[in-house]
Structure 1
Amino acid sequence: MARSGIPTRERIISAANTLFYNHGIRGVSVDAVAEKAGVTKRTLYYHFRSKDDLVAAYLAGRDQPNLALFRKWFSEAEGGLPLRVEAIFRNLARSARHPKWKGCGFLRTSAELANLPGHPAIKIGAAHKKKFEEWLRATFAAEGIAESLQLARQILLLLDGSFAVVLLHRDPSYMETAGEAAHTLIEAAVVARIKRSARRVR
Protein backbone atom coordinates (compact mmCIF):
# COMPACT_ATOMS: atom_id res chain seq x y z
CA MET A 1 0.00 0.00 0.00
CA ALA A 2 1.37 3.40 -0.96
CA ARG A 3 1.74 6.25 1.50
CA SER A 4 -1.22 8.00 -0.11
CA GLY A 5 -3.40 5.03 0.82
CA ILE A 6 -3.91 4.15 -2.85
CA PRO A 7 -2.58 0.72 -3.87
CA THR A 8 0.48 0.89 -6.09
CA ARG A 9 -1.19 -0.90 -8.99
CA GLU A 10 -4.06 1.58 -8.99
CA ARG A 11 -1.65 4.54 -8.92
CA ILE A 12 0.17 3.13 -11.93
CA ILE A 13 -3.07 2.63 -13.87
CA SER A 14 -4.22 6.14 -12.94
CA ALA A 15 -0.95 7.59 -14.22
CA ALA A 16 -1.17 5.53 -17.40
CA ASN A 17 -4.77 6.66 -17.91
CA THR A 18 -3.78 10.32 -17.79
CA LEU A 19 -0.69 9.98 -19.96
CA PHE A 20 -2.02 7.52 -22.55
CA TYR A 21 -5.28 9.42 -23.02
CA ASN A 22 -3.58 12.80 -23.35
CA HIS A 23 -0.51 11.82 -25.37
CA GLY A 24 -1.28 8.47 -27.00
CA ILE A 25 0.14 5.01 -26.49
CA ARG A 26 3.16 5.48 -28.72
CA GLY A 27 4.00 8.87 -27.29
CA VAL A 28 4.32 7.71 -23.67
CA SER A 29 7.14 5.55 -22.32
CA VAL A 30 7.00 3.15 -19.39
CA ASP A 31 9.52 5.42 -17.67
CA ALA A 32 7.11 8.36 -17.94
CA VAL A 33 4.27 6.33 -16.42
CA ALA A 34 6.51 5.15 -13.56
CA GLU A 35 7.64 8.71 -12.87
CA LYS A 36 4.09 10.08 -12.80
CA ALA A 37 2.96 7.23 -10.54
CA GLY A 38 5.86 7.86 -8.19
CA VAL A 39 7.29 4.37 -8.49
CA THR A 40 10.43 2.83 -9.93
CA LYS A 41 10.41 1.15 -13.30
CA ARG A 42 11.17 -2.12 -11.53
CA THR A 43 8.07 -1.69 -9.36
CA LEU A 44 5.95 -1.01 -12.44
CA TYR A 45 7.18 -4.21 -14.07
CA TYR A 46 6.42 -6.10 -10.87
CA HIS A 47 2.73 -5.24 -11.43
CA PHE A 48 2.71 -5.36 -15.24
CA ARG A 49 4.80 -7.77 -17.28
CA SER A 50 5.02 -5.38 -20.25
CA LYS A 51 3.82 -2.09 -21.67
CA ASP A 52 1.21 -4.08 -23.60
CA ASP A 53 -0.22 -5.34 -20.31
CA LEU A 54 -0.27 -1.80 -18.97
CA VAL A 55 -2.10 -0.51 -22.06
CA ALA A 56 -4.67 -3.28 -21.67
CA ALA A 57 -5.16 -2.39 -18.00
CA TYR A 58 -5.58 1.28 -18.96
CA LEU A 59 -8.45 0.45 -21.32
CA ALA A 60 -9.99 -2.11 -18.97
CA GLY A 61 -10.14 0.61 -16.33
CA ARG A 62 -12.16 2.85 -18.66
CA ASP A 63 -14.66 0.17 -19.64
CA GLN A 64 -17.27 0.13 -16.86
CA PRO A 65 -17.06 3.85 -15.95
CA ASN A 66 -17.75 4.82 -19.59
CA LEU A 67 -20.67 2.41 -19.92
CA ALA A 68 -22.09 3.58 -16.59
CA LEU A 69 -21.88 7.20 -17.74
CA PHE A 70 -23.78 6.45 -20.95
CA ARG A 71 -26.49 4.68 -18.94
CA LYS A 72 -26.64 7.59 -16.50
CA TRP A 73 -27.13 10.14 -19.26
CA PHE A 74 -29.82 7.91 -20.78
CA SER A 75 -31.71 7.35 -17.54
CA GLU A 76 -31.59 10.99 -16.44
CA ALA A 77 -32.90 12.38 -19.75
CA GLU A 78 -36.52 13.42 -20.03
CA GLY A 79 -38.81 12.24 -22.79
CA GLY A 80 -39.23 9.05 -24.75
CA LEU A 81 -36.68 6.61 -26.10
CA PRO A 82 -35.49 8.79 -29.04
CA LEU A 83 -34.79 11.74 -26.75
CA ARG A 84 -33.04 9.63 -24.13
CA VAL A 85 -30.63 8.14 -26.68
CA GLU A 86 -30.08 11.57 -28.23
CA ALA A 87 -29.14 12.80 -24.74
CA ILE A 88 -26.05 10.56 -24.86
CA PHE A 89 -24.85 12.42 -27.93
CA ARG A 90 -25.68 15.82 -26.45
CA ASN A 91 -23.75 15.05 -23.29
CA LEU A 92 -20.80 13.77 -25.30
CA ALA A 93 -20.85 16.99 -27.33
CA ARG A 94 -20.71 18.94 -24.08
CA SER A 95 -17.74 16.86 -22.95
CA ALA A 96 -16.04 17.42 -26.32
CA ARG A 97 -16.11 21.16 -25.71
CA HIS A 98 -13.71 20.74 -22.79
CA PRO A 99 -10.15 21.71 -23.84
CA LYS A 100 -8.73 18.44 -22.45
CA TRP A 101 -11.09 16.23 -24.47
CA LYS A 102 -9.16 13.90 -26.77
CA GLY A 103 -11.88 11.69 -28.18
CA CYS A 104 -12.63 8.04 -27.48
CA GLY A 105 -9.71 6.32 -25.79
CA PHE A 106 -10.80 2.95 -27.18
CA LEU A 107 -10.89 4.15 -30.79
CA ARG A 108 -7.64 6.10 -30.52
CA THR A 109 -5.86 3.10 -29.05
CA SER A 110 -7.22 0.79 -31.75
CA ALA A 111 -5.94 3.20 -34.41
CA GLU A 112 -2.46 3.21 -32.86
CA LEU A 113 -2.47 -0.60 -32.67
CA ALA A 114 -4.18 -1.24 -36.00
CA ASN A 115 -1.36 -3.46 -37.21
CA LEU A 116 -1.62 -5.62 -34.08
CA PRO A 117 -5.14 -7.14 -34.23
CA GLY A 118 -4.30 -9.70 -31.54
CA HIS A 119 -3.15 -7.10 -29.02
CA PRO A 120 -4.99 -7.48 -25.67
CA ALA A 121 -5.98 -3.80 -25.75
CA ILE A 122 -7.68 -4.28 -29.13
CA LYS A 123 -9.69 -7.15 -27.67
CA ILE A 124 -10.71 -5.04 -24.68
CA GLY A 125 -11.73 -2.16 -26.94
CA ALA A 126 -13.78 -4.45 -29.16
CA ALA A 127 -15.48 -5.99 -26.12
CA HIS A 128 -16.31 -2.51 -24.80
CA LYS A 129 -18.02 -1.53 -28.05
CA LYS A 130 -19.92 -4.84 -28.08
CA LYS A 131 -21.15 -4.20 -24.53
CA PHE A 132 -22.51 -0.81 -25.56
CA GLU A 133 -24.12 -2.34 -28.65
CA GLU A 134 -25.71 -5.09 -26.57
CA TRP A 135 -27.03 -2.59 -24.03
CA LEU A 136 -28.68 -0.62 -26.83
CA ARG A 137 -30.05 -3.82 -28.40
CA ALA A 138 -31.56 -4.97 -25.11
CA THR A 139 -33.00 -1.50 -24.48
CA PHE A 140 -34.63 -1.39 -27.92
CA ALA A 141 -35.89 -4.97 -27.63
CA ALA A 142 -37.47 -4.15 -24.26
CA GLU A 143 -39.38 -1.37 -26.02
CA GLY A 144 -40.75 -3.88 -28.51
CA ILE A 145 -38.69 -2.60 -31.42
CA ALA A 146 -38.15 -5.10 -34.23
CA GLU A 147 -34.62 -5.45 -35.68
CA SER A 148 -33.23 -4.19 -32.40
CA LEU A 149 -29.70 -5.38 -33.20
CA GLN A 150 -29.63 -3.58 -36.54
CA LEU A 151 -30.82 -0.36 -34.90
CA ALA A 152 -28.25 -0.72 -32.10
CA ARG A 153 -25.48 -1.06 -34.66
CA GLN A 154 -26.72 1.98 -36.56
CA ILE A 155 -26.59 4.06 -33.39
CA LEU A 156 -23.13 2.72 -32.53
CA LEU A 157 -21.89 3.68 -36.00
CA LEU A 158 -23.29 7.18 -35.56
CA LEU A 159 -21.61 7.47 -32.18
CA ASP A 160 -18.18 6.25 -33.24
CA GLY A 161 -18.37 8.18 -36.51
CA SER A 162 -19.07 11.37 -34.59
CA PHE A 163 -16.11 10.68 -32.29
CA ALA A 164 -13.84 10.57 -35.33
CA VAL A 165 -15.25 13.62 -37.11
CA VAL A 166 -15.36 15.79 -33.98
CA LEU A 167 -11.75 14.91 -33.22
CA LEU A 168 -10.80 15.86 -36.79
CA HIS A 169 -12.70 19.15 -37.01
CA ARG A 170 -12.78 20.08 -33.31
CA ASP A 171 -16.45 20.89 -33.79
CA PRO A 172 -18.78 19.15 -31.27
CA SER A 173 -21.84 20.17 -33.30
CA TYR A 174 -21.16 17.12 -35.49
CA MET A 175 -21.91 14.98 -32.44
CA GLU A 176 -25.17 16.83 -31.90
CA THR A 177 -26.06 16.24 -35.57
CA ALA A 178 -25.32 12.53 -35.11
CA GLY A 179 -27.65 12.59 -32.10
CA GLU A 180 -30.41 14.09 -34.23
CA ALA A 181 -29.89 11.32 -36.78
CA ALA A 182 -30.10 8.73 -34.00
CA HIS A 183 -33.33 10.36 -32.80
CA THR A 184 -34.80 10.09 -36.31
CA LEU A 185 -33.87 6.41 -36.67
CA ILE A 186 -35.27 5.46 -33.27
CA GLU A 187 -38.43 7.50 -33.73
CA ALA A 188 -39.08 5.70 -37.02
CA ALA A 189 -38.61 2.35 -35.28
CA VAL A 190 -41.02 3.36 -32.51
CA VAL A 191 -43.65 4.45 -35.06
CA ALA A 192 -43.24 1.14 -36.90
CA ARG A 193 -43.77 -0.72 -33.62
CA ILE A 194 -46.97 1.24 -32.92
CA LYS A 195 -48.29 0.50 -36.39
CA ARG A 196 -47.56 -3.20 -35.98
CA SER A 197 -49.40 -3.23 -32.68
CA ALA A 198 -52.37 -1.45 -34.20
CA ARG A 199 -52.60 -4.02 -37.00
CA ARG A 200 -52.62 -6.87 -34.48
CA VAL A 201 -55.51 -5.27 -32.57
CA ARG A 202 -57.72 -5.11 -35.66
Structure 2
Amino acid sequence: MSSAEPSTRDRIVAAASELFYGEGIRAVSVDAVAEKAGLTKRTLYYHFASKDDLIAAYLQQREQPNLARFRRWYAEAEGDAAEKTRAVFRNLARSARRPSWKGCAFLRTSAELANMPGHPAIKIGAAHKKDFEIWFAATFEAEGLANAALLARQVVLLLDGSFAVVLLHRDPAYMEAAGEAAFTLVNAASRRVLAGK
Protein backbone atom coordinates (compact mmCIF):
# COMPACT_ATOMS: atom_id res chain seq x y z
CA MET A 1 0.00 0.00 0.00
CA SER A 2 1.43 3.39 -0.95
CA SER A 3 1.76 6.07 1.70
CA ALA A 4 -0.71 8.22 -0.29
CA GLU A 5 -3.53 5.73 0.24
CA PRO A 6 -5.59 6.23 3.40
CA SER A 7 -5.56 3.44 5.96
CA THR A 8 -8.72 1.40 6.50
CA ARG A 9 -9.27 3.25 9.76
CA ASP A 10 -8.92 6.62 8.02
CA ARG A 11 -11.40 5.53 5.33
CA ILE A 12 -13.91 4.60 8.01
CA VAL A 13 -13.49 7.91 9.84
CA ALA A 14 -13.76 9.86 6.57
CA ALA A 15 -16.99 8.04 5.67
CA ALA A 16 -18.38 8.54 9.17
CA SER A 17 -17.43 12.21 9.11
CA GLU A 18 -19.25 12.85 5.85
CA LEU A 19 -22.37 10.99 6.96
CA PHE A 20 -22.49 12.16 10.59
CA TYR A 21 -21.94 15.80 9.65
CA GLY A 22 -24.41 15.66 6.78
CA GLU A 23 -27.20 13.68 8.41
CA GLY A 24 -26.58 13.57 12.17
CA ILE A 25 -25.15 10.81 14.30
CA ARG A 26 -28.43 9.19 15.29
CA ALA A 27 -29.71 9.08 11.71
CA VAL A 28 -26.63 7.22 10.43
CA SER A 29 -26.18 3.51 11.08
CA VAL A 30 -22.93 1.60 11.32
CA ASP A 31 -24.08 -0.29 8.22
CA ALA A 32 -24.29 2.99 6.30
CA VAL A 33 -20.78 4.00 7.39
CA ALA A 34 -19.37 0.60 6.38
CA GLU A 35 -21.08 0.83 2.99
CA LYS A 36 -19.81 4.37 2.43
CA ALA A 37 -16.27 3.25 3.34
CA GLY A 38 -16.56 0.30 0.95
CA LEU A 39 -16.02 -2.43 3.51
CA THR A 40 -17.91 -4.86 5.71
CA LYS A 41 -19.42 -4.08 9.07
CA ARG A 42 -17.14 -6.73 10.54
CA THR A 43 -14.09 -4.84 9.27
CA LEU A 44 -15.47 -1.62 10.76
CA TYR A 45 -15.91 -3.31 14.14
CA TYR A 46 -12.35 -4.60 13.91
CA HIS A 47 -11.20 -0.97 14.02
CA PHE A 48 -13.92 0.48 16.28
CA ALA A 49 -15.44 -1.41 19.20
CA SER A 50 -18.73 0.49 18.96
CA LYS A 51 -20.58 3.28 17.20
CA ASP A 52 -19.76 5.44 20.23
CA ASP A 53 -16.04 4.96 19.55
CA LEU A 54 -16.62 5.91 15.92
CA ILE A 55 -18.50 9.07 16.94
CA ALA A 56 -15.61 10.01 19.22
CA ALA A 57 -13.10 9.45 16.38
CA TYR A 58 -15.24 11.59 14.06
CA LEU A 59 -14.96 14.54 16.45
CA GLN A 60 -11.29 13.95 17.26
CA GLN A 61 -10.31 14.18 13.60
CA ARG A 62 -12.10 17.54 13.32
CA GLU A 63 -10.61 19.10 16.44
CA GLN A 64 -7.14 20.29 15.40
CA PRO A 65 -8.11 21.36 11.85
CA ASN A 66 -10.91 23.53 13.29
CA LEU A 67 -8.63 25.24 15.78
CA ALA A 68 -5.95 25.70 13.11
CA ARG A 69 -8.49 27.33 10.79
CA PHE A 70 -9.52 29.84 13.47
CA ARG A 71 -5.89 30.63 14.27
CA ARG A 72 -5.17 31.19 10.58
CA TRP A 73 -8.18 33.48 10.17
CA TYR A 74 -7.08 35.51 13.19
CA ALA A 75 -3.43 35.68 12.09
CA GLU A 76 -4.23 36.64 8.49
CA ALA A 77 -6.63 39.44 9.45
CA GLU A 78 -5.37 43.00 9.46
CA GLY A 79 -5.71 45.34 12.39
CA ASP A 80 -5.76 45.03 16.15
CA ALA A 81 -7.20 42.27 18.34
CA ALA A 82 -10.77 43.61 17.98
CA GLU A 83 -10.57 43.67 14.19
CA LYS A 84 -8.96 40.23 14.07
CA THR A 85 -11.66 38.78 16.31
CA ARG A 86 -14.38 40.25 14.10
CA ALA A 87 -12.62 38.74 11.08
CA VAL A 88 -12.99 35.26 12.60
CA PHE A 89 -16.77 35.74 12.68
CA ARG A 90 -16.82 37.12 9.15
CA ASN A 91 -14.93 34.09 7.90
CA LEU A 92 -17.40 31.84 9.71
CA ALA A 93 -20.29 33.68 8.08
CA ARG A 94 -18.69 33.04 4.67
CA SER A 95 -18.44 29.34 5.54
CA ALA A 96 -22.06 29.31 6.69
CA ARG A 97 -23.19 30.56 3.27
CA ARG A 98 -22.01 27.32 1.66
CA PRO A 99 -24.80 24.80 0.96
CA SER A 100 -22.73 22.06 2.65
CA TRP A 101 -22.54 23.98 5.96
CA LYS A 102 -24.43 22.22 8.75
CA GLY A 103 -23.20 24.14 11.79
CA CYS A 104 -20.74 23.14 14.47
CA ALA A 105 -20.23 19.37 14.54
CA PHE A 106 -19.34 19.50 18.23
CA LEU A 107 -22.48 21.39 19.25
CA ARG A 108 -24.75 19.29 17.03
CA THR A 109 -23.31 16.07 18.43
CA SER A 110 -23.65 17.38 21.99
CA ALA A 111 -27.30 18.21 21.33
CA GLU A 112 -27.95 14.71 19.98
CA LEU A 113 -26.27 13.17 23.03
CA ALA A 114 -27.66 15.60 25.62
CA ASN A 115 -29.11 12.75 27.68
CA MET A 116 -25.70 11.00 27.80
CA PRO A 117 -23.33 13.43 29.59
CA GLY A 118 -20.66 10.75 30.10
CA HIS A 119 -20.44 9.89 26.39
CA PRO A 120 -16.87 10.14 25.04
CA ALA A 121 -18.02 12.53 22.29
CA ILE A 122 -19.45 14.93 24.87
CA LYS A 123 -16.09 14.98 26.64
CA ILE A 124 -14.27 15.59 23.34
CA GLY A 125 -16.68 18.40 22.46
CA ALA A 126 -16.27 20.04 25.88
CA ALA A 127 -12.47 19.82 25.61
CA HIS A 128 -12.59 21.27 22.09
CA LYS A 129 -14.64 24.26 23.21
CA LYS A 130 -12.33 24.76 26.19
CA ASP A 131 -9.34 24.71 23.80
CA PHE A 132 -10.92 27.60 21.88
CA GLU A 133 -11.47 29.54 25.08
CA ILE A 134 -7.87 28.93 26.20
CA TRP A 135 -6.55 29.98 22.79
CA PHE A 136 -8.56 33.21 22.79
CA ALA A 137 -7.49 33.93 26.39
CA ALA A 138 -3.79 33.39 25.55
CA THR A 139 -4.15 35.52 22.41
CA PHE A 140 -5.84 38.37 24.28
CA GLU A 141 -3.32 38.15 27.10
CA ALA A 142 -0.46 38.35 24.59
CA GLU A 143 -2.13 41.52 23.25
CA GLY A 144 -1.99 42.93 26.77
CA LEU A 145 -5.76 43.00 27.27
CA ALA A 146 -7.06 43.01 30.83
CA ASN A 147 -9.39 40.25 31.98
CA ALA A 148 -8.32 38.13 29.02
CA ALA A 149 -9.90 34.95 30.40
CA LEU A 150 -13.31 36.59 30.89
CA LEU A 151 -13.09 38.28 27.50
CA ALA A 152 -12.28 34.95 25.86
CA ARG A 153 -15.28 33.32 27.53
CA GLN A 154 -17.54 36.11 26.29
CA VAL A 155 -16.25 35.74 22.73
CA VAL A 156 -16.76 31.96 22.85
CA LEU A 157 -20.34 32.50 24.05
CA LEU A 158 -20.96 34.81 21.09
CA LEU A 159 -19.34 32.29 18.79
CA ASP A 160 -21.37 29.30 19.94
CA GLY A 161 -24.55 31.37 20.16
CA SER A 162 -24.08 32.45 16.57
CA PHE A 163 -23.61 28.82 15.49
CA ALA A 164 -26.95 27.95 17.06
CA VAL A 165 -28.93 30.92 15.73
CA VAL A 166 -27.52 30.66 12.21
CA LEU A 167 -28.42 26.98 12.15
CA LEU A 168 -31.99 27.85 13.18
CA HIS A 169 -32.54 30.79 10.81
CA ARG A 170 -30.12 29.83 8.02
CA ASP A 171 -29.00 33.45 8.01
CA PRO A 172 -25.24 34.06 8.40
CA ALA A 173 -25.95 37.74 9.12
CA TYR A 174 -26.43 36.65 12.74
CA MET A 175 -22.82 35.50 12.76
CA GLU A 176 -21.73 38.86 11.44
CA ALA A 177 -23.80 40.58 14.16
CA ALA A 178 -22.11 38.40 16.78
CA GLY A 179 -18.78 39.46 15.27
CA GLU A 180 -19.72 43.11 15.75
CA ALA A 181 -20.56 42.39 19.40
CA ALA A 182 -17.21 40.60 19.82
CA PHE A 183 -15.46 43.56 18.19
CA THR A 184 -17.14 45.92 20.67
CA LEU A 185 -16.09 43.80 23.67
CA VAL A 186 -12.47 43.40 22.57
CA ASN A 187 -12.23 47.03 21.49
CA ALA A 188 -13.51 48.18 24.90
CA ALA A 189 -10.88 45.99 26.59
CA SER A 190 -8.20 47.52 24.35
CA ARG A 191 -9.32 51.04 25.23
CA ARG A 192 -9.21 50.25 28.94
CA VAL A 193 -5.60 49.12 28.52
CA LEU A 194 -4.72 52.27 26.58
CA ALA A 195 -6.35 54.39 29.28
CA GLY A 196 -4.30 52.57 31.90
CA LYS A 197 -7.32 51.13 33.70
TM-score, normalization by structure 1: 0.95
Q: Structure 1: which 5+ residue stretches go unaligned?
A: 198-202
CA–CA separation in structure 2 for the residues paired with 1:144 and 1:61: 33
Corresponding position: 1:187 with 2:157: no
Q: Structure 2: which 5+ residue stretches go unaligned?
A: none
1:2 CA drift (Å): 8.9
Equivalent position of 2:16 in the other structure: 16
Equivalent position of 1:109 in the other structure: 109
CA–CA separation in structure 2 for the residues paired with 1:135 and 1:62: 17
1:143 CA drift (Å): 1.3
1:6 CA drift (Å): 1.2
The superposition leaves residues 158-195 of structure 1 with CA deviations (integer Å, 9 ceiling, x where unpaired) of 00000000000000000000000000000000000111
Task: Please tell me the residue identity of whatever aligns with 1:28.
Answer: V
Task: Please tell me the residue identity of whatever aligns with 2:58.
Answer: Y
Structure 1 contact 30–41 (Cα < 8 Å) conserved: yes
Corresponding position: 1:95 with 2:112: no
Counterparts of 1:114-125 in structure 2, within 5 Å, are 114-125=114-125
TM-score, normalization by structure 2: 0.98
CA–CA separation in structure 2 for the residues paired with 1:14 and 1:5: 13
Structure 1 contact 74–85 (Cα < 8 Å) conserved: yes
Equivalent position of 2:165 in the other structure: 165
1:15 CA drift (Å): 0.3
Task: Please tell me the residue identity of whatever aligns with 1:65.
Answer: P
Q: Give 1 or 2 for the bigger CA radius of gyration.
A: 1
Question: Bigger shift: 139-148 or 90-99?
Answer: 139-148
Equivalent position of 1:144 in the other structure: 144
Counterparts of 1:29-48 in structure 2, within 5 Å, are 29-48=29-48
CA–CA separation in structure 1 for the residues paired with 2:168 and 2:141: 34
CA–CA separation in structure 1 for the residues paired with 2:41 and 2:131: 34
Corresponding position: 1:27 with 2:19: no
Number of residue-to-residue matches in the alignment: 197
Task: Please tell me the residue identity of whatever aligns with 1:161.
Answer: G
The superposition leaves residues 85-143 of structure 1 with CA deviations (integer Å, 9 ceiling, x where unpaired) of 11110000000000111000000000000000000000000000000000000011111
Distance 1:51 1:191, change over 3 A: same
